[in-house]
Structure 1
Amino acid sequence: MKLNNRQRENLYGYLFIGIWIIGFTWLTLYPLIMSLIYSMNKVTITVADGIVLNNVKFQNFIDVFSTDFDFVNELTKFIGEIFLFVPIIIIISIMVSLLLNQKIKLRGIFRSFFFLPVIIASGPMINELLKQGAGTIPMLENPEIAETLSQLPRFLRDPISSLFSQMIMVLWFSGVQIVLFLAALQKLDSSIYEAASIDGASPWEMFWKITLPALKPMVLVSSIYSIVFLATFSNNKVITYIQSKMFDITKGYGYSSALAWIYFVVVAILLAFVYLLFKPKKEEKAK
């Protein structure tokens, strides 16, 4: 059968995305479905029968919130860290991108310096740096600062202490966000700033009235990226806890799958909250 140009283009398109669809189905969708099934069962592995499922319905989820206070505590800490880390990452990324967008010598090299850690840093390397104390800023370990932190409520003290201990890592992994904000800044027409300057606008007013509104779509993208990155970070204690329960004789795959789904729902809620917070309003879309 002879294909016309449109049918041929469609066929090529399906061939290109077909590999991705097969990979997604086998490596992502199938494990997701199986983990959901496991979360409703007590999973045991035997030599004779292999994987044996004993349906317990929602008992695994009930056990998490009724007995597993360690997981709830780690999950609460993670949520607190998200609300603390993400705004700091966004603010630092905007500040650095504004500096790198200036007409300075060796601007391209400076941009590469900020993005290079994202490329070369691996999970084991990061863990080793954190173990050796390379993730913290010595000035922040001052006894007076520690004393001040100890007087804060726990829900504030734990995230702030975690931020201090990983400050270098937070700065290190702002590379992608910096690139996103740089791309948005370079799309702005310089004539807008010239007109505002002629009208007597100060640099601070131009930032709030011109630059920041233009960066708002990238704030949404960068916030979502930051949440997903922090949620899947190799040093994430929630993920480490879930993995430890997977190989626990008394808990196993079923219980750890329930933990993973609870974690997934929490991350999805955080992403939905950020989207609703920064999504374009109807008035902005009309413009």
Structure 2
Amino acid sequence: MIPYEKRQALVGYLFLLPWLVGLCAFVLYPLGYSFFMSFHKVRITSDGLGMKPVGWDNYKYAFLQDNQFVLMFAAVLKETLMYIPIITVFALFVAVLLNFRFPGRMLFRAVFFLPVIFATGQVLTEIFNQGAGGLDILVKYDVASFIQYNLPKFWAEPLLNVLRAFVLILWYSGVQIIIFIAGLQTIGRTVYEAATIDGASPWETFWKITLPAISPFIVLNMLYTIVDLFTFPFNPIVSWISWNMTNSGTGYGYASALGWIYFTAVFLLILVVLGVTKKFVFTRER
């Protein structure tokens, strides 16, 4: 007696049911519980977690008294704003090269993606500690001193941090390169053939055809890069939240508040990027 459309919808929901159960049990419930704890002073007692309501005190403490968190967040934000264009432009450049037909193309694509597979947080940390993640030009030509002397400290330190981890940051471009290659392959060859017949140069073809066509993929890669960088293994805010979680003076309640402040800031940054880039995204008529 159930209509056909509702039966089809029911089948779809049945397939989604395992994911919905996992989402509620392992994502929504922990998120809601952490938000609840952010308004409490959480103590670990012999009887379990003891919670004392403190209202917005944890959030006020983060901005008004925990100066280290504010400084960390400002530094991470500045470095992320520098990383985003570097990774996006590098990934686009490599993707355009790897989109050409040449012998061994699949091998080169695999080489650029291998660091994403093998470069775990521990591996990256060890490479970075050995000083292999930066550029030799910083030491050879004393670029660090030049930057510190000519730029204000507010921008010099984030820029030097970016250059010191420049190689490792480029290793994180594997996923972005694949996304760009997928976007480039959605552009029909007939469009390029028509542009060539009209006398367009490769430079003009890139700016008039390629770049507008992959503009949605540029925005997608920017969003992916933002999320990826804010969970980067060297991110000091993540370490600071973990430290406060086990600290007897702050505990789970304050750490939860820091996590929600961090999440809100990242979410707002994503909304800003979407709002700014919306008018630059090219949509194809079907």
**Which TM class, normalised by the smaller chain length?**
over 0.9
**Greater Cα shift, 179-188 or 141-150:** 141-150
What residue number does 2:96 align with?
98
CA deviation map 1:139-162 (0-9, x unaligned): 223353111121212231122111
Asked if 2 retains the 8 angstrom alpha-carbon contact of 1:219 and 1:278, the reply is no
**Greater Cα shift, 185-194 or 274-283:** 274-283
Q: RMSD of aligned C-alpha atoms?
A: 2.0
Aligned length: 285
Please state whether the residue corresponding to 1:218 is helix, strand or coil: helix
Please give the TM-score of this superposition, normalised by the length of structure 2: 0.93
Please give the TM-score of this superposition, normalised by the length of structure 1: 0.93
Q: Which of residues 69, 87, 90 is equivalent to 2:67?
A: 69
**Which residue identity is paired with 1:268?**
F
Q: For the residues of structure 2 that align with 1:215 and 1:283, how far apart are their CA atoms?
A: 8
Q: For the residues of structure 1 that align with 2:276 and 2:126, how far apart are their CA atoms?
A: 36
What residue number does 1:88 align with?
86
Q: Percent identity?
A: 39
- Structure 1, unmatched stretches of 5+, are none
Shift in Å at residue 37 of structure 1? 1.0
CA deviation map 1:65-98 (0-9, x unaligned): 1111111111001111111001110000010001
Indicate whether 1:223 and 2:222 are aligned: yes
Q: CA distance change for structure 1 residues 282 and 97 in 2, over 3 Å: closer, same or farther? A: closer
**Greater Cα shift, 146-155 or 53-62:** 146-155
Shift in Å at residue 164 of structure 1? 1.0
Q: For the residues of structure 1 that align with 2:38 and 2:247, how far apart are their CA atoms?
A: 15
What residue number does 2:206 align with?
207
Q: CA distance change for structure 1 residues 267 and 124 in 2, over 3 Å: closer, same or farther? A: same
1:72-151 equivalent positions in 2, closer than 5 A: 72-142=70-140, 144-151=142-149
CA deviation map 1:208-264 (0-9, x unaligned): 111111110001110110011111122211100111111111111111111111101
Q: CA distance change for structure 1 residues 281 and 170 in 2, over 3 Å: closer, same or farther? A: closer
What residue number does 2:256 align with?
257
Please state whether the residue corresponding to 2:101 is helix, strand or coil: coil
What residue number does 2:17 align with?
18
Q: For the residues of structure 2 that align with 1:42 and 1:156, how far apart are their CA atoms?
A: 37
Shift in Å at residue 281 of structure 1? 6.5
Indicate whether 1:56 and 2:54 are aligned: yes
Q: For the residues of structure 1 that align with 2:273 and 2:209, how far apart are their CA atoms?
A: 22
**Greater Cα shift, 120-129 or 72-81:** 120-129
Q: For the residues of structure 2 that align with 1:282 and 1:129, how far apart are their CA atoms?
A: 38
Asked if 1 retains the 8 angstrom alpha-carbon contact of 2:216 and 2:281, the reply is no
Q: CA distance change for structure 1 residues 273 and 41 in 2, over 3 Å: closer, same or farther? A: same
